[in-house]
Amino acid sequence: MKCFRTRTVTTLASMALLAALGFGASACTAQSQSPIGSGVEPQAPQLSPDAAPQAAVDVRLGVPPPTATPIQLAWPKPQVDCTIAKCVALTYDDGPGKHTEELLDHFADADAKATLFMLGKNAKSRPEVVIRAAAEGHAIANHTWDHANLRTLSRTKQKAQLDKTASLLRELSDQPVTMMRPPYLAFNDDTVRLGFAVVLQDVNTKDWQTLNTSTTVKKVLDGVRPGSIVLMHDVHKSTVDAAPAILRELNKRGYHMVTVPELLGEPEPNKLHFRQR
């Protein structure tokens, strides 16, 4: 499958980058997508989209022209057309945590995709999970560096929280990190004007309050409708344990479990997104 090969290359690039960042290659646990024997040559990591464009070089000065041009990251073309198909975006906040890989296993078993709104500080301590999630086709998004209440911060401090996180997530995932969800769902006008697509939800499971697997399953299945964005937290074992039943039932109901960019198309920046229109 073409997408898989692309992802494998992406994984390799990310792994190389991880090593370059000093995280240590042994941290990588990308499962069945071992590069060994895949026949695909590793490629250099792509430049992040906000890298400064290469300045024009005056060849008269004897400076060689750049050999590579910056590559703009873009969301891959959706595999499902959610303007026709019945889609839902299952989203998870606050990770990556110690249960996130188990969640990824459940999604892999169901051939489903999630959107993970990650904290920068957690991505820094579990970079291999970010790499694996991105390699397996999940969308990586921004949930600030350390779960800041953005409503209490100046515009400059809000931007610093989001930019630092986006930069790390972009390096690890090789994805455009264009979406954010504010912690506590707390934001103000400044938050919406920082260049990110602000992704909220239309189904709030409040899984962190109940910490109960069957209640979380019921909240999702009772609340979901075509085009929904469902909010959960992958740092809770009870929520991760809810995934198999949720995925099984949604599949039975004919839903495609897609990422937010697949659901919405290219998520529009400086706008609030609650669900598919």
Binding stretches for Ni ion (CB under 5 A): 93-94, 183
**Minimum distance of Ni ion from residue 83's CB (angstroms):** 30
**Minimum distance of Ni ion from residue 177's CB (angstroms):** 16
| Other beta carbons within 10 Å of 72 | 11
Position with the least CB separation from Ni ion? 93
Please pick, among 106, 138, 143, 233, the residue that the annotation labels catalytic: 233
Identify the DSSP state of 53: P
Nearest residue to 114 via CA among 232, 274, 17 = 232
Please pick, among 93, 163, 174, 234, the residue that the annotation labels catalytic: 93
Cβ-Cβ contacts under 8 Å for 9 (sequence gap 6 or more)? 40, 42, 43
Contact at 8 Å (CB) between 80 and 256? Answer: yes
**What SS3 class is residue 78?**
coil
93 is catalytic: yes
Nearer to Ni ion, 94 or 101 (CB): 94
**Minimum distance of Ni ion from residue 236's CB (angstroms):** 11
**Minimum distance of Ni ion from residue 143's CB (angstroms):** 6
Nearer to Ni ion, 127 or 183 (CB): 183
| Other beta carbons within 10 Å of 215 | 16
Nearer to Ni ion, 134 or 235 (CB): 235
Strand partners, 98: none
Nearer to Ni ion, 94 or 174 (CB): 94
Cα dihedral sign, 255-268-17-235: negative
Query: Which residues have a catalytic role annotated?
Result: 93, 233
